[in-house]
Amino acid sequence: MQIGGDLAIKHQDSYSEYYMRLGVDEKTVQSLPRMYALFSRLMSPVPGTFHRMKAGDIIDIGSFKWKVMIGHGHSPEHACLYCEEKNMIIGGDQLLPGITPSISASVEEIDSNALKEFLDSLEQLYTLPADVLVLPSHQLPYRGVHTRIDQLKAHHSSRCDMLREACEEPKNAFELVGVLFGRRKLGPMDKLMAMGETIAHINLLLNEGEVCRYLDDNEQYLFVLEKKC
């Protein structure tokens, strides 16, 4: 979940109200101030000045040139660096080999369509050579980037299918977390991260007109297939 520590502390009351509307249990909501304070201690302040890398920029690192390819979804902008001469891309979190990056609707931008942004930004990576060496942020380097992109797209498609089936009847967001994450035991932070990922998938379905959202009598958001609204 993309939470700026100081910003979260400042707005924690409105964030707590938002999570309650999603059906998060009160114990987890009450732990928000402690978690936000932890984030604040872990994160460095945003620098006062910086040089922005843009899509298509060429950066010299040593004697090699690296092309900037911008991904979205996991973070607002995620720079991958491709070196044609070395047939190598620094894929970071955008191109993980055995796990999927966290694609989450942030609490600061609750109606964002982060999952669509992520899937759309994967398309440009099909232009890479099929045997390019990918250096990910987690796990080992690998080849077969086109196959990996196909796998990432199929994974998120199957998760959306699970939510479509679950939304045959109205459910709150926390019930839908159970659909995607099963019966695994989740701590407070895990619950919020799982919630962010679930909402990212729901937002894609909302934007495509497949699911609708409304407030019930208990002031909780419920999600149901559009045809049943």
For 32-91, how does the pLDDT look when each residue is reduced to its tens digit (9 = 90+)? 777 777 777 777 777 889 889 999 999 999 999 999 999 999 988 999 999 999 999 999
Distance CA 24, CA 175 (A): 9
- Domains by residue range for the chain, with CATH: 5-228 (3.60.15)
Q: With contact defined as beta carbons under 8 Å apart, do 64 and 57 qualify?
A: no
- Model-wide pTM > 0.85: yes
Q: With contact defined as beta carbons under 8 Å apart, do 100 and 152 qualify?
A: yes
Q: With contact defined as beta carbons under 8 Å apart, do 229 and 213 qualify?
A: no
The CA-based dihedral angle spanning residues 132, 81, 42, 181, taken in that order and rounded to the nearest 10 degrees: -40
Amino acid making up residue 227:
K
pLDDT tens digit sequence for 126-164: 999 999 999 999 999 999 999 999 999 999 999 999 999
